[in-house]
Structure 1
Amino acid sequence: MARYEWISFTTDYGLSDGFVAACHGAIARTAPTVRVIDVTHAVRPGDVARGAAVLAQTAPHLPPAVHLAVVDPGVGTARRGIALRTPNGLLVGPDNGLLIWAAESLGGVAAAVELTNPRWFAPEVSRTFHGRDIFAPVAARLAAGAELADAGPAVAPSTLVRLPDPVVTVGDGWLEAEVLTVDRFGNVQLAAPGELLDALGPLLDVGGVRAVRGATFGATPVGGLVVFVDSAGRVAVAVNSGRAAVVLGVRPGDLVRVATAE
């Protein structure tokens, strides 16, 4: 099995407690030369979809790595712990849909195993901290070159938990799409791919608010609404020097209609 120099780490743990540090420590105990890239630890607690979206949009831009992700409201229940192999890296975390979009962004699931080998875990496993006691040690072993098959039995990729595909609907001169994420700037990322904007005009109506199509935030005066293709290739809405999520009154999971303005 190939070794990896990097582990990426995505969680909803925040930074006010020692949870992230404890996981870093678990990695360092097993693979002290492996470096960790912290993707984010600011996912809203239990927001699996947000964690999945952030990881999927970030992983292709990272070096070859083991991608460790833990947003796990079902910790300690019957949900499985899994590791996935893709053509461009490995993923480790709970089987709750968190890893699938990222796996697809890395070329698709080539193999999957359930994490059942206790020799790969911490000597004592907390029922509520599998990130430290199961997932981090497993990620470290895989980064150090251990075989994926030794982590546990193979599972059929078709049995992996998958999040519902976000809603995207297209009509003549309009599209309607689910809000996929809202970033810290208040920019609203829709699930619609950016090329769908090609069928719309330069002046738009976004949920009843006038907007322009543009390439960046400065395409409209301060306070104006702009619809653009973001760095992940999705349709997004922003306010120049403001927060589009507030102007539109939306949050992840809401539907937003973008139409050519009359």
Structure 2
Amino acid sequence: MSEYQIISFLTDYGLSDGFVATCHGVLLGISPGVRLIDISHVVPPQDIRTGARLLARVTPYLPKAIHVAVVDPGVGGQRRPVAVDTARGLFIGPDNGLLSWAVEAAGGALAAYELTNGKLFREPVSRTFHGRDIFMPVAGHLARGTALAEVGPEISTGSLVALPAPVERLEGGELHSEVILADHFGNLHLASAVDRLDSFSLSVGDPVVCVTPAGEHRATYVEVFEEVPLGELAFYGDAVGQLTIAVNSGNAAERLGVTTGEVLRIRIAP
């Protein structure tokens, strides 16, 4: 029996078209005893960086598992389908950078394999639905006990596609930090960790200025939302220790007019 009895699943498939249920069905048809954890299926379409960030934020809190992730604008093209072995489990998906941050968070790749063994695929293989026909079937067979080496040839871990690190630097007395996630509430999670504030001698209750392409916005450094009035901007450390901008009972992404990938500048208010 395989050591993997849990499979996590992340995609940009959405929830209205049955794609997720189809993949669930294929998996359970191969390995009916496996337990499924859905991470998210509302990653913005083709947004590899957001998918990579969610995968890296969530999988450290999951049991050792097979993690299947599919945000795959190059499906059917030249990108490789891969399985990456780590100390925290196996990561299966397209080799387009989607897996890279989660693999790094898991301690790095121990080995990597290109998925080429058609005996483990669902036939016929669609050119546009590899989640159903390649990634989930391979995960199912591995959960049943198929050896990892049987999925295809081992490849160099150094050849795996890695996304560039998010922008995060101190410059001219300001913190430049990329928005790595605009969550369901509109909270803007930044690439910078809370300890970056050591350079500013910032205390709870102090005001800061957040500079966006649209202008300057005043926020307050807080520990909890209620430390600012309703509708006001809060600057705080999120549950994984990243700096975040939110609106108390509001939507910071809409208020500031920014989203994932944009770089904000933070400085102490005069």
Fold shared by both chains (TM-score > 0.5): yes
Q: Deviations over 1:36-88 (max 9, x none)?
A: 10101000110111110001000010111100000000000011000000001
User: For the aligned residues, what is the CA RMSD?
Assistant: 1.2
**Aligned twin of 1:219:** 227
Displacement of 1:173 after TM fit? Answer: 4.1
Give the 4+ runs in structure 1 shifted more than 6 A: none
**Aligned twin of 2:53:** 53
Q: What is the alpha-carbon distance in structure 2 between the residues aligned to residue 259 and residue 144 of structure 1?
A: 53
| 1:67-216 equivalences in 2 (<5 Å) | 67-171=67-171, 173-200=173-200, 201=202, 202-207=206-211, 208-216=216-224
Kept after mapping to 2: 8 A contact 1:65/1:143:
no
Aligned-partner residue type, residue 244 of structure 1: A
Q: What is the alpha-carbon distance in structure 2 between the residues aligned to residue 142 and residue 213 of structure 1?
A: 47
Displacement of 1:172 after TM fit? Answer: 5.9
Q: What is the alpha-carbon distance in structure 2 between the residues aligned to residue 95 and residue 12 of structure 1?
A: 16
Unaligned runs of at least 5 residues, structure 2: none
1:165 aligns to what SS in structure 2? coil
The TM-score normalised by the length of structure 1 is: 0.97
Residue identity over aligned pairs, in percent, reads: 50
Q: Deviations over 1:124-182 (max 9, x none)?
A: 10111000000000111122222111101111111111112111111364201111110
Q: Deviations over 1:189-214 (max 9, x none)?
A: 11112211233322211111111111
Kept after mapping to 2: 8 A contact 1:197/1:235:
no
2:153 aligns to what SS in structure 1? coil
The TM-score normalised by the length of structure 2 is: 0.94
Aligned-partner residue type, residue 178 of structure 2: E
**1:241 aligns to 2:245 (yes or no):** no
1:82 aligns to what SS in structure 2? strand
Q: What is the alpha-carbon distance in structure 1 between the residues aligned to residue 226 and residue 146 of structure 2?
A: 49
Q: What is the alpha-carbon distance in structure 2 between the residues aligned to residue 131 and residue 186 of structure 1?
A: 29
Instruction: Give the paired residue count.
Output: 262
Displacement of 1:2 after TM fit? Answer: 4.4
Q: What is the alpha-carbon distance in structure 2 between the residues aligned to residue 117 and residue 145 of structure 1?
A: 15
Q: What is the alpha-carbon distance in structure 2 between the residues aligned to residue 199 and residue 63 of structure 1?
A: 36
1:185 aligns to what SS in structure 2? coil
